[in-house]
Amino acid sequence: MKIHESWKEVLAEEFEKPYFERLKEYVRQEYGTQVCYPPGRLIFEAFNQTPFEEVKVVILGQDPYHGPGQAHGLSFSVPPGVAFPPSLRNIFKELKDDVGKEVPMSGDLTEWARQGVLLLNATLSVRAGQAGSHQNQGWETFTDAVIHLLNQRKENLVFLLWGAYAQNKGKFIDPNRHLVLKAKHPSPLSANSGGWFGTKHFSKTNEYLQQLGKPEIKW
């Protein structure tokens, strides 16, 4: 479980806390005895693709995908060649309506991450076929600490909070310091009831970055 040097420095205190030691042991045991996702080397992929100093946008997910070959450490993203999960399909539909971008061939969002979009799940691992199986073991405490650090140490970030879970997790983010955009979750059940399509989060993010003189995200 390697993590980018910039994050190692920022999170040094967190890594020393007793809960994180317990979490590490739990994850080691789970990966040693069960099939778990993402692969161990990709657990911190969101942090490795988006160093702390480069974060401009944060998209909060809940759990890694729990099907074979889907999770690769970035929220909502799947590796090339893997069918789009329903939420990702709706993200791409809204993206097309919002900024006119055609639906891509691949659901791999690594290019977003490399431009400063932190694709962060609340829980960074899961047992195969068992959604939420690694919840309440310490991951949420860790990712709360990440959001707190971003909120306190950086300014003018864009937080995209999709669905009640993400909105609750990000409720302490200072809206005077950052742009906080909220919408329904892009999963079909939620999105089709209104509150996801037409929210234009992608263009709103870029308008905000443009006002700050920062490069836009090439969604």
Q: Give the per-residue pLDDT at 46.
A: 98
Mapped onto helix, strand or coil, the DSSP state of residue 96 is helix
Q: Give the per-residue pLDDT at 166.
A: 96
* Residue 127 backbone phi and psi in degrees, to 5: -80, 140
List the domain boundaries for the chain.
Answer: 5-212
Beta-ladder partners of 59 = 119, 160
Q: Give the per-residue pLDDT at 90.
A: 98
Q: Give the per-residue pLDDT at 44.
A: 98
- Of 205, 199, 197, the C-alpha closest to 87 is 197
Beta-ladder partners of 57 = 117, 158
Q: Is the pTM of this model over 0.85?
A: yes
Into which CATH architecture does domain 5-212 fall?
3-Layer(aba) Sandwich (3.40)
How many Å apart are CA 52 and CA 54, to the nearest integer? 5
Active site residue ranges:
63
Q: Give the per-residue pLDDT at 123.
A: 98
Q: Give the per-residue pLDDT at 68.
A: 96
How many Å apart are CA 21 and CA 32, to the nearest integer? 17
* Region for residue 127 given its phi and psi (left: phi exceeds 0; alpha: psi -120 to 50; beta: otherwise): beta
Q: Give the per-residue pLDDT at 9.
A: 95
How many Å apart are CA 77 and CA 186, to the nearest integer? 13
Q: Give the per-residue pLDDT at 189.
A: 85
Run means of pLDDT, 10 residues per run, the chain, 219 residues: 92 97 98 98 98 98 96 98 97 98 97 98 98 97 98 98 96 97 94 92 98 97
Which residues are within 8 A (CB) of 43 and not within 5 positions of it... i.e. 6 or more apart? Answer: 1, 27, 73, 124, 125
The two three-digit tokens of residue 10, written as one number: 């920022």
Residue in the block written with tokens 């990000």: 170
